[in-house]
Amino acid sequence: MRLYELTAELLNFEEELQENYGEITEDMQERYDELLTLTRDKMENYIKLIRNMEAERDAIKVEADRLSTRAKTKDNSIKSLKELLRYSMDALDMGKVTTTVGSISVRQAPKVKTHIREDAVVPARFMRAKYEPDVKAIAEALEAGDAEAEEIAYFGEPTRYVTIR
């Protein structure tokens, strides 16, 4: 039986109990105990499944971090090798080299990087501003009963969640 089916059965049992004015027969007690045991067993299996999935997720994250580190190492190696090629080709005044496995050429980037001087005071026309609501300040104002904050925002319902220990 699935957990939602067990839950429905227990809710139906509660309705039957109310219809019987709270009187529990021996059969009802046995059924209730069985449903409760099945529900607890099912929940225990859910806990086991969740813990296994969390362990697998953690292992995947560790492996992803390891692979990401390897990829960054490869990127750095590629960058170093390309820089060595560029240096050699510039020193030998070779613009392009063709081999049996591919060709190499040194090119000039179409755009140059813009650097801001350390002591520069940048005029407003070259500045960019990003305005966004300060949710933390609004929450604090709501908690303090600020009328202006209450006009623009409200607290939602608290989130319910499951913890497994």
| pLDDT surpassing 90 at residue 165 | no
Instruction: Identify the CA nearest to 91 among candidates 81, 106, 76.
Output: 106
Q: Is the pLDDT of residue 77 over 90?
A: yes
- The dihedral through the CA atoms of 158, 159, 164, 165 has a sign that is negative
Going by their DSSP bridges, the two strands 103-105 and 96-98 should be labelled as antiparallel
Q: Whole-prediction pTM value?
A: 0.63
pLDDT at residue 138, rounded to an integer: 95
Element holding 119 (H helix, E strand) = none
- The confidence band for 52, taking pLDDT boundaries of 50, 70 and 90, is very high
Which tens digits make up the pLDDT trace of 108-145? 888 888 899 999 999 988 999 888 999 999 999 999 99
pLDDT of residue 89: 94
- What pLDDT is stored for residue 71 in this prediction? 98
Q: Which of 16-20, 39-43, 147-151, 160-164 has the lowest mean pLDDT?
A: 160-164
Q: Give percent above pLDDT 90 in the chain.
A: 73
pLDDT of residue 16: 86
Band (163; pLDDT cuts 50, 70, 90)? confident
In degrees and rounded to multiples of 5, residue 98 shows phi and psi of: -110, 130
